[in-house]
Chains A and B, each alone.
Chain A
């Protein structure tokens, strides 16, 4: 019985954090703010909930599996959030100065890097232009073929 009470307390804490998380993604206005609320549920909410279930299971293999879930999520969730933030910064073309600091005495952060991304030159990502050039060349060749057949 006392085991169940402790487990239920932890699980209710986890549920409250999940509810706050869902409240947060509707009350906050910008993606990077919403991501904060989402990360809270990914780490603290799942920790409380799994601790509750671990108390219920006692010492067994199931508890080890739940601990593995917590360990995996605590490693995976920050990486996913980091990549999402990177996507947001790269895809925001309205105001590139939005991410610079405006505190006095601090130098402005550099703009979004223009020349390389993780050591890869930016030109290597350009695929559409090559495809378009190839397409134009094919059109030109077709036109030449039509001219040749017309001359014959």
Chain B
């Protein structure tokens, strides 16, 4: 922070404010999103923006340990997205398998009745 001009702090604060506004706008998409996939995607985007915000703040207050938090945040947001999509995928596949079995059962019942 030695060779920086005086307006550097203002520039970084402006970056923080802009990123915060973007996070709020993306949060509206999380609420509006018509499907589950929209919401998970918006959560992923919020994770990216928050990581950027943490990196800017780490430089602004000159505390480099915040960058470790940034790395951990990336890992946790990645794991959250992976687990959510896996769980929902298996849920939909289970529903599909149930529907298929019910169809097979009804066909078998019709065959039995015919006999």
Contacts and interface: CB of A to CB of B under 8 A. Distances in A.
Interface residues of A, number: 54
Given A4-B4, A25-B42, A80-B44, A87 B89 contact: yes
The B interface is mostly helix, strand or loop, or mixed, namely: helix
Interface string B40-80: 11101100110110011011000010011011001100100
Interface string A36-67: 00100110011001100100110001100110
A65 B8 contact: no
Nearest to A1: B5
Interface centre among B55, B86, B101 (most CB of A within 10 A): B55
Interface of A: 1, 3-4, 8, 11, 14-15, 18-19, 21-22, 25-26, 31, 34-35, 38, 41-42, 45-46, 49-50, 53, 56-57, 61-62, 65-66, 68-69, 72-73, 76-77, 79-80, 83-84, 86-88, 90-91, 114, 117, 122-123, 125-129
Contact of B41 (A18, A31, A79): A31
B35 interface: yes
A80 B78 contact: yes
Given A18-B52, A68-B71, A128 B40 contact: no
A72 B75 contact: yes
| Interface size class of chain B, counting residues whose CB lies under 8 Å from the partner chain | 35 or more
Contacts, number: 155
A90 B92 CA distance: 7
B100 to A, nearest CB: 7
Contacts of A25: 26, 29, 41-42, 45
Interface of B: 3-5, 8, 11, 15, 18-19, 22, 25-26, 29, 35-38, 40-42, 44-45, 48-49, 51-52, 55-56, 58-59, 64, 67-68, 70-71, 74-75, 78, 81-82, 85-86, 88-90, 92-98, 100-101
Contacts of A41: 45, 48-49
Contacts of B52: 14, 18, 45-46, 49
Contacts of A50: 55
Contacts of B68: 65
Nearest to B11: A8
Contacts of B101: 123, 126, 129
B93 to A, nearest CB: 5
